[in-house]
């Protein structure tokens, strides 16, 4: 599903500082249908890896192969198209506050050029899928944090991505809500088969739903395997 080969990301030197090696040669394989966790301390390179995976950042070298297609060197229309194969769920939800739940979920479909009727039908299906039926016309400010993240998940699924990439997606939520959102991700993984990649600094998050994981440290994979085998797992 996803093959990452010798991925390197070096940020150029800025005022008063030398260059930063954020990723120092990452090799990783994530199988179809997995819930794969990426864990590591602050500064380990998790966000950089995530921005490379969702094509917001170009790696310095190396490859990211998604279902056989090298997506790491794309530009322009090819890159925009490939981005639709990867849905991202953000820590702070990143919803449009002046738009309703339905309009938020419709937004990527609007960008993709889908007609109004189709957009609406698709958005309402997704809203139901994440357990928010009846909230179509609500505004984000009228929802709890957990509900807002459900909208974020529905929006990320709108383009039927191969991969759902979760960036500290539960870090802004309380423990009970965290568990509910994680359980929803596991349910979606089982039901629609979407591969989930979860980036987190919390081992508890990994343990609840991930099938496999990698621990990142100082821009390198320190270990990878089944959750319970990870040396760093307390
Ligand atoms: P994590 O998400 O695990 O906390 P990051 O990927 O944010 O790690 O950071 C890895 C390293 O790269 C850190 O040393 C960080 O300071 C550096 N870094 C991240 N983004 C940038 C950037 N845009 N410019 C320069 N250095 C960066
Ligand atoms: P049903 O409940 O009709 O049997 P599923 O449970 O397979 O259908 O899927 C429920 C909804 O999820 C459907 O609206 C379907 O279009 C949507 N769906 C299926 N696969 C994906 C995917 N990879 N990404 C986003 N949505 C999907």
CA 7 centroid distance within chain: 18
Residue in the block written with tokens 């919390």: 202
Q: What is the number of the ligand 1 atom nearest to the C-alpha of 42?
A: 4
Res 229: pLDDT? 63
Res 86: pLDDT? 94
Complex ipTM value: 0.70
Q: Which residues line ligand 2 (CB under 6 A)?
A: 125, 129, 157, 160, 191-192, 194
Alpha helices in the chain (DSSP H): 46-53, 76-83, 101-111, 116-129, 145-157, 175-192, 203-209
Q: Residues in the chain with pLDDT < 50? A: 234
Q: What is the number of the ligand 2 atom nearest to the C-alpha of 160?
A: 24
Between the alpha carbon of residue 2 and those of residues 8, 49, 122, the distances in Å are: 16, 13, 27
Q: How many Å apart are CA 179 and CA 184, to the nearest integer?
A: 9
Bridge pairing between strands 212-217 and 195-200: unpaired
Sheet with 69-70, side-by-side order of all strands: 20-30, 2-11, 61-66, 69-70
Q: Tokens for 149?
A: 């993240």
Q: What are the tens digits of pLDDT across the range 114-139?
A: 999 999 999 999 999 999 999 999 99
CA-proximal residue: ligand 1, atom 12 (nearest): 22
Q: What are the tens digits of pLDDT across the range 13-39?
A: 888 888 999 999 999 999 999 999 999
What is the H or E stretch that residue 203 is in? helix 203-209
CA-proximal residue: ligand 1, atom 18 (nearest): 22
Cβ neighbourhood burial of 110 (10 Å; 0-12, 13-18, 19+): middle
**Which residues does residue 175 pair with via DSSP β-bridges, in sequence order?**
none
Res 44: pLDDT? 95
CB 5 within 8 A of CB 29: no
Bridge pairing between strands 195-200 and 35-39: parallel
* Span from the CA of 225 to the centroid of ligand 1 (angstroms): 24
Q: Is 218 helix (H, G, I), strand (E, B) or coil?
A: coil
CB 95 within 8 A of CB 152: yes
CA-proximal residue: ligand 2, atom 25 (nearest): 160
Q: How many Å apart are CA 221 and CA 17, to the nearest integer?
A: 25
Res 203: pLDDT? 85
Residue in 192, 193, 195, 196 to alter for ligand 2 test, most ligand atoms within 8 A of Cβ: 192
């Amino acid at each position: 599903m996803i093959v990452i080969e010798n991925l390197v990301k070096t940020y150029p030197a800025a005022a008063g500082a030398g260059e930063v090696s954020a990723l120092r040669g990452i090799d990783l394989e994530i199988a179809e249908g997995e819930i794969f966790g990426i864990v590591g301390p602050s500064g380990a390179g998790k966000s950089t890896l995530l921005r490379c995976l969702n094509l917001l950042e170009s790696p310095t070298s190396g490859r990211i192969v998604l279902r056989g297609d090298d997506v790491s060197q794309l530009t322009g229309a090819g890159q925009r198209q490939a981005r639709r194969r990867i849905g991202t769920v953000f820590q702070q939800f990143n919803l449009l506050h002046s738009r309703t739940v339905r309009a938020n979920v419709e937004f990527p479909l609007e960008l993709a050029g889908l007609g109004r009727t189709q957009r609406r039908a698709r958005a309402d299906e997704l809203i139901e899928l994440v357990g928010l039926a009846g909230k179509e016309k609500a505004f984000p400010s009228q929802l709890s944090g957990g509900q807002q993240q459900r909208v974020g998940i529905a929006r990320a699924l709108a383009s039927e991505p191969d991969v759902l990439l979760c960036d500290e997606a539960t870090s802004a939520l309380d423990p009970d809500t965290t568990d509910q959102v994680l359980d929803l991700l596991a349910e979606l993984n089982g039901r629609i088969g979407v591969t989930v990649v979860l980036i987190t600094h919390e081992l508890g998050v990994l343990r609840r739903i991930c099938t496999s994981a990698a621990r990142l440290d100082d821009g390198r994979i320190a270990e990878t395997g089944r959750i319970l085998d990870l040396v760093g797992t307390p």
